Structure 1
Amino acid sequence: MPALDHRQEAARAFDAMRCGGIAIVPNDVGYAAMAHSYDALQRIFDTKGRAPTKLNAMIGHNQLHRRLHRCSTRGREIVAAITEDYDLPLGVIAPADFTDPFLARLDPRVIEASTRDGTLLMLLNAGQFHFALSELSDAQDTAIFGSSANLTLQGTHFSVEAIEPEIRAIADVIVDYGVLKYKPYGCSSTLLDVESLTVYRHGIAYETIAWILKKHFGLSLTPVPS
């Protein structure tokens, strides 16, 4: 018998979010505060003290990426190389199809708080719980958005115990997976616009991601600032 039932844990969090609640969930890249409704997402922002200019990220898997992102062939190959061939997490930024029912049925305020210039940020390949939650999101046509479970500028947390009490207090469900996989990095996922190659965050495995693009595509990314 497995020690963890990822589907069951994901369903518990998903049901709370679908009903308007907030869930603190484990991704390999850090614990996140996630929600579906605008009011819940706004409560996360207000509690974190997050600037209005910051955007929510959507959780997803490669199937949702291929369905919603409008990428060039090169863009799709970059995503596949990083997240499938090399099995690394990535925050993918790319133009999206907002006429797709998955996005079109969302509260316009959620779209406004989660997109910029026609692009959508989707976190891919962030662990087995993340994949199970993404499957539920896809199957139920219920988009899940959020950001790291921490007060603003306090850094990503890789254990529930490290999350500030104010953040834990707003959660209807907390899914505790202990200390998460990428804690040694001390930061969250790399955020990359796979069309413009703009790096919005030098995060987990960035040096490897830059090496992948150089080796397989002949492309150079910006170096990590000193």
Structure 2
Amino acid sequence: MSFPNIAADARRAFTALQQGGIAIFPVDVGYTIAGGSAESLARIFKAKGRAPTKLNAMVGDMTTHRALHVLDERASEMVRCITEGYELPLGAIAPYRPEHPLIQRLDPGALVGSTKDGTVAMLINAGPFHREICKLSREENHPIFGSSANLTNTGTKFRVQDIPAELLDIADVVVDYGLRKYHRYQRSATLINFATLEVVRVGSCYELIADVLARHFDVELPPAE
């Protein structure tokens, strides 16, 4: 078996997204199905049977987070401590700057399905492939939004062979890197609104994230359900 060529595979997926297509690719917290246009995201929603109230998450890195999210210094340090200090994956929700180039590139239909009350969720620090495709998104100013490659309410998929055919059939590119890192959790990323410290979803590494916030910031998250 050859060594994975992350740069080439990320470029292949990103090119499909730039062209209005759909890509399925690996992140540490499962497989993501993503688009970069209102049309592609609408096709994903339909195939997943996803309720309009469920939003997409932006694929972003810490550089994008710092430039796009609006948080005070303490909240920003929480995100940095979790993702850079402890190298944990995180879904960070925060108010966003509407003038940011990636937001400006997003067409209105996609913006409606990817933001709520002036906030946007962003998946940060989710592994080597995620890091590479985030870099392409940022440097070439093409937004990527996605969600777990599953049918609604059927659980995150950690192997390509477990992804439903309905989603594989609409993908222009599928990148298969085998079993994903945090499969033991059987959950996607933990989602926290850092403007309010509300836990929106208990997910992978939740107990580790809660420990970081308790020890470094005296913030007590609720117990995992």
TMscore range, shorter length: over 0.9
User: What CA deviation, in whole Å up to 9, does each residue of 1:191-218 have, x standing for no partner?
Assistant: 0011210000000111111111110001
Could you tell me how far apart the structure 1 residues matched to 2:105 and 2:172 are?
Answer: 24
> How far has the Cα of 1:105 moved from its partner?
2.5
Equivalent in the alignment of 1:155 = 155
Structure 1 segment 170-189 matched on structure 2, within 5 A: 170-189=170-189
SS in 1 for 2:192: strand
Could you tell me how far apart the structure 2 residues matched to 1:157 and 1:101 are?
Answer: 32
CA contact (8 A) 2:105 2:142 kept: no
Could you tell me how far apart the structure 1 residues matched to 2:158 and 2:174 are?
Answer: 13
Could you tell me how far apart the structure 1 residues matched to 2:151 and 2:100 are?
Answer: 33
Q: Does 1:61 align with 2:57?
A: no
Structure 1 segment 16-55 matched on structure 2, within 5 A: 16-55=16-55
Equivalent in the alignment of 1:116 = 116
TM-score by length of 2: 0.98
> Structure 1 vs Structure 2: percent identity of aligned residues?
50
Could you tell me how far apart the structure 2 residues matched to 1:171 and 1:102 are?
Answer: 23
Deviates more, 1:68-77 or 1:101-110: 101-110
CA contact (8 A) 2:89 2:189 kept: yes
Equivalent in the alignment of 2:93 = 93
Could you tell me how far apart the structure 1 residues matched to 2:79 and 2:99 are?
Answer: 22
After TM superposition, the runs of 4+ consecutive aligned structure 1 residues lying more than 4 A away are none
TM-score by length of 1: 0.97
Equivalent in the alignment of 2:141 = 141
What letter matches 1:123 in structure 2?
L
Could you tell me how far apart the structure 2 residues matched to 1:149 and 1:100 are?
Answer: 27
> How far has the Cα of 1:179 moved from its partner?
0.6
SS in 2 for 1:20: coil
> How far has the Cα of 1:64 moved from its partner?
0.2
Equivalent in the alignment of 2:210 = 210
State the aligned residue count.
224
Equivalent in the alignment of 2:168 = 168
What letter matches 1:91 in structure 2?
G
Could you tell me how far apart the structure 1 residues matched to 2:154 and 2:117 are?
Answer: 28
Could you tell me how far apart the structure 1 residues matched to 2:54 and 2:169 are?
Answer: 22
Could you tell me how far apart the structure 2 residues matched to 1:59 and 1:49 are?
Answer: 21
Could you tell me how far apart the structure 2 residues matched to 1:82 and 1:62 are?
Answer: 11
> How far has the Cα of 1:60 moved from its partner?
0.6
Deviates more, 1:162-171 or 1:96-105: 96-105
SS in 2 for 1:77: helix
In structure 1, runs of 5+ residues without a counterpart are: none
User: What CA deviation, in whole Å up to 9, does each residue of 1:111-151 have, x standing for no partner?
Assistant: 11000011110000000000000000000100000111011
In structure 2, runs of 5+ residues without a counterpart are: none
